[in-house]
Structure 1
């Protein structure tokens, strides 16, 4: 019994020291204005997340759409902790334009490249795990602070 308690304690301490998920000010993120309505932006973000960000279905894609408020949120959450490893917040400006905030954990498949691919999937309505478009210097990725 004491071995189980010791193992559980070691696991809890190691998980506490390893911050898994998006950390404000430390994770790659970006804010974009896109020529896509909030509903279509959400659908594209969901398709992108399901295609590229679930690590063979180990991570869950969750979303909420608020039609009255013209906004939507998409989250990819880690197993066990339910922490966000990817998050997209969308606010409709008008029928054909939205403000989009994208944040990624900054590790593994949830990095700055994934953030740019998500942005382009929303802009061009085509999910792909890698961006093939030239870099947009007007909205650079904010890298994690070290």
Structure 2
């Protein structure tokens, strides 16, 4: 391989590694953003146009779902959270469409069953909670798949 070929393959490798890093590092946030944007649109359709208070509660309750989950998984913020290997994240978040659909479905159900004044906050909380919990399940499944494929470092609770 000559110098030009080495530079070309190195550039390709760098671009591929950069894309993989961008995908892995942003996949959860991307799925959550899609879930919450779609949930907002769905609630607007089923619960009606939100007031400014509804919008504020939507944001607070979506964030609140993650606060609750963080508190539970760290036993009141006293335990260090575990980590998941990047291979598991890549495989698990490849299934994000499931988490997105389930989170969106939770918001729609809240919008259909609850009065509009409650639907905006409950729908946001439910969408965020269901998204996070279903994504955790996807990561657990991905870790098992990785282990079955021979990756002994695919444990989902490092730390």
Structure with greater proportional helix content: 2
TM-score, normalised with respect to structure 1:
0.29
Computing the radius of gyration from Cα coordinates, the structure with the larger value is: 2
Structure with greater proportional strand content: 1
TM-score, normalised with respect to structure 2:
0.28
